[in-house]
Structure 1
Amino acid sequence: MTFLEIEGHSFNIQVNYKSNYFIQGYFDMSTINYKKDKIVVNGVVSSLDYKLNANNIGLDFGYTLPIRSFSPYAYIGAGVTFMDTPFIKSGTDSGEIIFGTKTKCFPQFNAAIGVDYEITRYFVLFGEIQYSSTFFKTSLDNQRLHGVSLLLGFKTPLWY
């Protein structure tokens, strides 16, 4: 059984085009609590409890519909995830088992819907529901790391 729990931080920069279209670049850093039970190597049953460090870089393309102070929006995007993935393998000595990590690159996809609420010209609150999926394939797993996140925060324009 594999168990995942994710926590992280994000930095986005957005450029608007003709008031309805936008592109945003993102850089996310996250830590994923990764647990896997009953791994058998050389007849030895092992368990793994590890924190995966992941860095995500990519671009999102979106559409927004400004309605007075509210601006609902949606976007879709793709990028790459650089992740320190765990591995377990047989060693050169009899009965030796090696645990380690290796940095790998995986494709990532995300999509979201949300709403901006403009309090002032320079202070905008937002709420967003985001789906994210990383195509995770290692010697221990061949699955997607995916889930839904609720994001709440504020935005401010760099220039107006």
Structure 2
Amino acid sequence: MRVFTGIEELRAAVGEHLGHSDWHLVTQQQVDTFAEATGDHQWIHVDPERAATGPFGATIAHGFLTLSLIPTLAAQVYRVDGMSMGVNYGSDRLRFPAPVPVGSRIRAGITLTGVHEARRGFQVTSDIQIDLETGGPPACVVAAISLLVP
């Protein structure tokens, strides 16, 4: 975990790879709970028997579930002290190059790309890549935008 003592220290790290999160196991229960929350019950996510004969050989996580895990994974990579809160501000260039089979382990790698003053705090941009422990193409790549509020 990389700890920044303030926004100026974070700004000085622009362009750096900040590190990787721990590996996170994606479970069928997690996928099913996400399906309930979003109403996306497509069989490739929630029907292990049918999915075993499908194109991926098993159920896979929703792409947006993978994306939704980023705040949890990013919190293991870095934090900025002296902020009252951080909120998701959006994303650019989002792609899901590879599926995440249930039972896989994923982790986030983060490269800080920008820190800019904003109306309510500081807009922080980072390139985040979600990798599968088994290798191959990333499961998710995104230019994430956060707002840090002092």
TM-score range, shorter chain: 0.3 to 0.5
Considering fraction of residues, name the structure with more strand.
Answer: 1
* Greater relative contact order (Cα < 8 A, sep 6+): 2
Query: Which of the pair is proportionally richer in helix?
Result: 2
